[in-house]
Each structure stands twice: as C-alpha cells, then as structure tokens.
Amino acid sequence: MHPLPHKSGDIINRAPALSRSTKIRRALPTPSGRAPDLGRASPLSQAERAEIHRQGAKAAARGESACSNPLEQARNQPAATGESAEMWRQRRAAWARGHAVQTLARRAQAVAVLHESR
C-alpha cells in the first residue's frame, strides 16, 4: 500500500494499480474450481449462462424480436424474483447475446444466399 496525503493532512493508504495480467489471474477460478469472491454478486454458472444464451438464440431463430427477452417482463425482474440486480443483468445479457449471435448468423446466411443466386 502506498500512503497518500489526504486533504486534512492525514495519510490514507491506497492499493497500487493492478496490472492486466494480475486482474486476469484474479478472475481465473481457484484450485477449488470457484472464481474468487471479488465483492460482487456471484456470476452465473457456465451451464446456466449457456442455457440462457441458447434460449435467446432459439427465440431469434423463431423470428422473435430482441424486445421479447423474457427477463424484461415484470415477473422476471429482481423486484419480483428477489435475486440481485447484478445476477438479473447477467441473465438478461446472456439472453440478449444469444439472440444477437443468432440474428447475425441468420443475416449472414441470407446475404450468402443472395450472393449465390447472382
């Protein structure tokens, strides 16, 4: 810790800035397989994130709009479910990413078909 002078003249301690490699190492799972607690809501498990991502992709494949994200419905928001806002944001983002990836894939496929027909 590096002491810094405070406005009142007292010295406060400030941790040195972490390098990018240190941040990455700290974010990696520990030997127990769990990510270290960094003082925020526990992240989605990889399986849950993949499942929600898949559901978003399936919605896009059915032609549903990005606005159809079920996590936007009042019954699935933190006030109704009791989950943390951070966990809800992670779930909402996973669904949106799945939808976006599938939408881009469908658009790319449509463009490829158009180019083949010329």
pLDDT in tens, 59-115: 999 999 999 999 999 999 999 999 999 999 999 999 999 999 999 998 888 888 777
> For residues 12 and 1, what is the distance between their CA atoms, to the nearest angstrom?
9
109: enclosing H helix or E strand: helix 85-116
pTM: 0.60
**CA 104 to the chain's CA centroid:** 19
Residue 33: partners with Cβ closer than 8 Å, 6 or more residues away? none
Question: By CB neighbour count within 10 A (0-12 exposed, 13-18 middle, 19+ buried), where does 99 fall?
Answer: buried
